């Protein structure tokens, strides 16, 4: 009985530490430069980024305007029935706001974080990219950064501060991330993706 209680207490403490870490990483930006800015995908609606994706893209453009990196990498495939991928919508959104198409690279197959990371790895390698600034929502930042690090990249965080997510939705996603990161750090994010999709 004491062993079970001890395990439950230890795991609860471990998840709580990871939850605190998610919050800290979600507001951190060390101001560094990198080879590329990576924008993690989110929903798009017939070629138009959702407010969540637009917030990520606006932040990435600000970093690019500030010369934090010369390249922007966009990610994300499409759901069944969609005409456009998240990456296509992201690329067009950036081009419409003055980012030259020649500095935008990406992958358009990923349907989940690990999926997108794995699909983007060869694209980054083909462009001799070793260091990244990863842009996503604050709750999603740590898992994204850790996934790129697991694949050998020097990845740092710079989350958007204008995400439309708030209230109960944000709390649920943050708690879910804490559980996922807690498991991913133990078994690896590739194994976590194999288990959960």
Is the separation of the CB atoms in 131 and 100 below 8 Å? no
Q: What is the pLDDT of residue 55?
A: 98
Lowest pLDDT segment from 36-50, 113-127, 167-181: 167-181
Q: What is the pLDDT of residue 195?
A: 78
Model confidence band, residue 72 (pLDDT cutoffs 50, 70, 90)? very high
Write out pLDDT tens, residues 7-48.
888 888 988 998 899 999 999 898 999 999 999 999 999 999
Mean pLDDT value of segment 163-174: 93
Q: What is the pLDDT of residue 8?
A: 83
Quote the tokens at residue 164.
């439309």
**77-85, long-range: CB within 8 Å, 24+ apart, which pairs?**
77/41, 77/108, 77/109, 77/110, 77/111, 77/115, 77/116, 78/44, 78/108, 79/111, 82/44, 82/46, 83/46, 83/47, 84/44, 84/46, 84/47, 85/44
Lowest pLDDT segment from 70-79, 90-99, 138-147, 177-186: 177-186
CATH code of the domain in which 109 resides: 3.40.50.620
CA-closest candidate to residue 89, choices 121, 42, 125, 135: 42
Mean pLDDT value of segment 144-154: 97
Mean pLDDT value of segment 135-164: 96
Q: What is the distance between the alpha carbons of residues 73 and 91, in angstroms, rounded to a whole number?
A: 9
Average pLDDT, the chain: 94
Instruction: Tell me, yes or no, if the pTM score tops 0.85.
Output: yes
Q: Which domain holds residue 29?
A: 2-196
The length of the chain in residues reads 197
- Answer yes or no: is pLDDT of 194 > 90: no
CB contact set of 83 (below 8 Å; sequence gap of 6+): 46, 47
What's the total number of domains in the chain?
A: 1
Quote the tokens at residue 44.
């798009």
Mean pLDDT value of segment 141-164: 96
- 106's enclosing H/E stretch is strand 104-106
Q: What is the pLDDT of residue 58?
A: 98
Model confidence band, residue 4 (pLDDT cutoffs 50, 70, 90)? confident
Which has more confidence, 134 or 182?
134
């Amino acid at each position: 009985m004491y062993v079970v209680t001890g395990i439950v207490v230890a795991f609860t403490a471990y998840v709580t530490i990871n939850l605190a870490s998610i919050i800290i990483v979600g507001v951190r930006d060390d101001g560094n430069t990198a080879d590329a800015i990576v924008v993690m995908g989110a929903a798009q609606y017939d070629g138009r980024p959702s407010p969540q994706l637009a917030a990520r893209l606006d932040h990435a453009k600000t970093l690019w305007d500030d010369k934090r990196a010369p390249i922007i990498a966009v990610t994300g495939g499409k759901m069944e029935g969609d005409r456009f991928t998240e990456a296509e919508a992201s690329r067009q959104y950036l081009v419409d706001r003055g980012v030259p198409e020649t500095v935008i690279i990406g992958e358009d197959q990923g349907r989940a974080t690990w999926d997108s990371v794995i699909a983007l790895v060869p694209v980054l390698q083909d462009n001799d990219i070793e260091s990244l600034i990863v842009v996503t929502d604050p709750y999603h930042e740590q898992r994204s950064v850790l996934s790129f690090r697991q694949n050998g990249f020097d990845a740092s965080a710079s989350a958007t501060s204008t995400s439309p997510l708030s209230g109960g939705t944000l709390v649920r996603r943050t708690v879910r991330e804490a559980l996922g990161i807690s498991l991913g750090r133990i078994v690896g994010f590739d194994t976590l993706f194999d288990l959960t999709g």
